[in-house]
Structure 1
C-alpha cells in the first residue's frame, strides 16, 4: 500500500546515480558528508571534493539544475571563509589588523579549510538528494530500513503536503487583496497570512489523517506495498564509493600531517 496526496509527477533523469535506490543515495550522502565534519583542514576537504566530482557529474542533474540547486553553497562557502579569515584564531604572521578584525596565516589557513569543506559536505548531499523521490524513499525506509510504517507514511504525507503551501500562500494573498485588506504594513500583513496558513494547514492535516485512517493506514495488520523496494549491486557500489571518499581524504590528512580534529585540544 502506498500513499499519494497529489498526482505523481516523475522526472525522468539520465545518469548512473539517478536511477539508484533512494536509500542508497541517502546513505551515500551521509557517509560522504558526516566523516568530513571531524577534521577542519584544507587537504582532507580538497581531496574529498576532488573525489566527489564523478558523483556530481553522474548524479543526473542538468548543468542548469546543478547551479540553481547549489547556488546557496557557492555563496555560503566564500562568505564563511571571509568571516573566518577576519575573525578566526590568530597565529603566525599578522597581515592585516583593524578593530576586532585580524588576518593572519592561521586564520587564512582556517578560512580556506572552511570554504572547501562547505563545498565538500554540501555538494554531494544536494546532488544526491535532488533525484530522490519521496515515495521511493518512504518505500525503502519502510521495507529496507524497517522503520515503522505509520511513521514513514505520516512523514511522506507531510512531505507531499508541503508543495501545497506555496499555492495556499498565493491564494491567501489574492483573497486578502480581493477583500481590500492589503493596505496594512508588510510585517503585520505577513504575520496575518502566516497565522491563516497555519490554521489552514492544521485543518488539512486533520482531514488527511481522517482519510488515511479510513483507508486503513493506521491498521496493525501486515502491510503490503504497491512497489517493492529493490536493492541492486550498483547500489552497493555507490555506498562503497561513499565510504572510500572520506576514508581516503582523512587518511591523506593524517599521512601528510594536516589532520586537525575539530573537537579536542588539537582543534582550532
Structure 2
C-alpha cells in the first residue's frame, strides 16, 4: 500500500509541470497508443529513451516511478508469465508437460512487459506533475463538445476529481486499519491463498464503513455550500493553451509517426 502513488501530486516548476493539463492528458493518451506500436527491440529502446528524457525533464526522483511499478508488480508478472508459458509458435526452447517456452512466446512476453512498464511510467508522470483538480478540469474541457448531446460533462469531471483526491486518503486509511488489526494479532502473511483472502475481511469491512461515512460527509458539505451542478459555474483556475503545448503534442505526433514506420 505504501507504493500506491495514484492521485499524488508532486509540486514542481519543471517544463512538464508548466504544460497545460489538457496537452499532458492528450499527450499521455497518444503515448499509450504509440506504445502498442512498439513491437520490436528498436521501437522499445526509442520509447524507453523518450520516457527517460521525460523523467529528467519533470525533475521528479526516479524512486516515485519505481514505486508506481511496484504497485502493479503482480499484474505485470502474471501477464508476462502467461504470455511466456502459454503462447505457442516458433522454435521450442524448453518444454515440461503441457508448458512450452518458445521463441515467439518469449518475444511476446518481452513486448507485453515493456508495454506495461511504459504505460505505467507515462500515467505516473501525468498524475505526479498535474494537480487532480487541474486534471479534472482538463477532462471537462476536452469533453465540452459532448454537452450538445446532453452528456453530464461537469459531473464526470467532478467524479474524476473526487476519485483522484481520495485515492491517497483511502490508501492511508487502509494502512491505518491494517496496523490496528496487526496490533490485535491478525497476521496477513500466513497461510494459503484462501486464508490470506479471509484475512482481508477485517480490513475491507471497516474501510467500506469509513468510505461511506466520508462520502456522506462530503455530500452534506456540498449541499451546505449550495452546490447545484455545473450550470452557470465558473472555474477558479483558468486553463491557458500556449505555444509550448502545441509543440509538445507535435513532437509526440512525430514520435508516433517514427515508431509506426519502424514497427514490425
Is TM > 0.5 for Structure 1 vs Structure 2?
yes
Could you say what the CA RMSD is over the residues aligned between the two structures, in angstroms? 3.4
Q: Which has the higher contact order (CA 8 A, sep 6+)?
A: 1
Q: Specify the alignment match of 2:53 in structure 1.
A: 54
1:108-161: per-residue Cα shift (whole Å, max 9, x none)?
Answer: 333333333333333223223321210111222334542722332233234323
Does 38-47 or 53-62 show the bigger shift?
Answer: 38-47
Deviation at 1:249, TM superposition (A): 0.7
Residue 216 of structure 1 is matched in structure 2 by 226
Provide the C-alpha distance between the structure 2 equivalents of 1:48 and 1:177, rounded to a whole number of angstroms. 43
Residues 48 and 246, structure 1, Cα contact 8 Å, conserved in 2: no
Aligned length: 242
Q: Runs of 5+ in structure 1 lacking a partner? A: 1-8, 259-268
- 1:117/1:208 Cα in 2 relative to 1: closer, same or farther (>3 Å)? closer
Give runs of aligned pairs for residues 63-82 of structure 1, distance below 5 A.
Answer: 63-71=62-70, 81=80
TM-score (norm: length of structure 2): 0.74
Are 1:97 and 2:95 matched, yes or no? yes
Distance change in 2, residues 1:166/1:112 (3 Å): closer
Larger % of helix: which?
A: 2
Tell me by how many angstroms 1:99 deviates: 1.4
168 and 176 in structure 1: CA distance in 2 versus 1, 3 angstrom threshold: same
Change (3 A) 1:169 1:10: closer
Q: CA separation of 1:185/1:77 partners in 2, compared to 1, >3 Å: closer, same or farther?
A: closer
User: 1:193 aligned to 2:203?
Assistant: yes
Greater Rg over alpha carbons, structure: 1
Do the aligned residues in 2 keep the contact of 1:89 with 1:107 (CA within 8 Å)? yes
Task: Rate the CA distance shift 1:252–1:220 in 2: closer, same or farther, 3 A.
Answer: closer
User: What SS does the corresponding residue of 2:58 show, helix, strand or coil?
Assistant: coil
Whether the 8 Å contact between 1:169 and 1:193 is mirrored in structure 2 is yes
